[in-house]
Amino acid sequence: MLDIFIIGAGPIGLACGLAAQKAGLSFVIVDKGCLTNSLYNYPSTMTFFSTSEKLEIGGIPFVSNNVKPTRAEALEYYRRVAFSNQLPVKLFEEVLNVSAGDGAYSIKTAKAGYRAKQIIVATGFYDIAVDLNIPGEELPKVKHYYKDPHYYAMQKVVVVGSSNSAVDVALETYRKGAEVTMIVRDAEISSRVKYWVRPDIINRIKEGSIKAYFNSSLKAIRPYEVDIETSEGSLTIANDFVLAMTGYKPNFDFLKRIGINLSVDEKLLPEYNPETMETHLPGIYLAGVVCGGMDTHLWFIENSRVHADMIISDIVSKK
């Protein structure tokens, strides 16, 4: 019988493990993917918006070469945190079912069964892409995840979106020799784009190096062309790849399967006590970006790492 079963081995799941370890509680951290799976799936060239001290967990220093750390530095940091603290982490082990009974929870995974008094859900939101829901989206040329710009050299690339990820993709592929066209739903590049990057993309669009259609949407995708609906009408352009940076969402089906209530509006906010992070299900807590539902800009590592101490404090107070 474990005190806590932690679902998700991302930064916040690891932070919960560190807090549980400090409190002398028994626990295990289980993830269906690799360690810090979301960070691993970030672009290889990605640089964080935050400084390294804001990404620290468990009071363990994160030293980076520059003010803003890279993806590689973050992977190294969280891996060392897990190894040096000997956190009991089990990877590539998907949680299939959770059921309550006899004052505890039974958890069935793809590899084993567990019993725990409490569960912390720290599953993030990077596993499921938000679909375009248009013809041709299933074609192999359409990518919702982006790793490296070299792959797209000399290709005609359509980038959907205007957030940080879309802007990074557009600039990086352009600088590796791609012919880039951005499809932006709004009237301008998002104000959330990193302040040192936004002027760059605006200037590249103004000079014509990157073509951008604002107040526009992608309507259909075919093997060698796409259809775009703009404010001035429809057009078809030649195209090799579509990089759909349309965002990601939590695994709502999993949350529903556990029994967690979600709001009835489009945000699908999970129900929890903001002072303890406990859901309406006794002993089941939420931590990290999963708390924001579809509002994935609400929680980040730097402002949700406090969830770990909040949850463990509540668990200890009930012992």
pLDDT in tens, 139-156: 999 999 999 999 999 999
The Cβ of residue 6 has, within 10 Å, a number of other Cβ atoms equal to 31
Helix (H) or strand (E) holding 73: helix 71-84
Residue 214's contacts (CB-CB under 8 Å, 6 or more residues apart) are 184, 186, 187, 188, 231
Domains of the chain: 2-128+248-317 (3.50.50.60), 131-244 (3.50.50.60)
Angle of the 11-22 helix axis to the 71-84 helix axis, nearest 10: 30
**Predicted confidence (pLDDT) at residue 285 exceeds the cutoff of 90:** yes
Which residue did the predictor score with more confidence, 50 or 201? 201
Q: Give per-residue pLDDT as tens, 65-79.
A: 988 999 999 999 999
Q: How many residues comprise the chain?
A: 319
Q: Is 221 exposed, middle or buried (0-12, 13-18, 19+ CB in 10 A)?
A: buried
The tens digit of pLDDT for each residue in 6-19 reads 999 999 999 999 99
Q: Name residues whose C-beta falls within 8 Å of residue 277's C-beta, 6 or more positions apart in sequence.
A: 285, 286, 287, 291, 307, 310, 311, 314
How far apart CA 12 and CA 5 sit, in angstroms, is: 14
From 218, 207, 212, select the one nearest 167 (Cα to Cα). 212
* Model pTM score: 0.89
Return phi, psi of residue 222, to 5°. -125, 170
Write out the H or E segment, with its range, that includes residue 234. Answer: strand 233-238
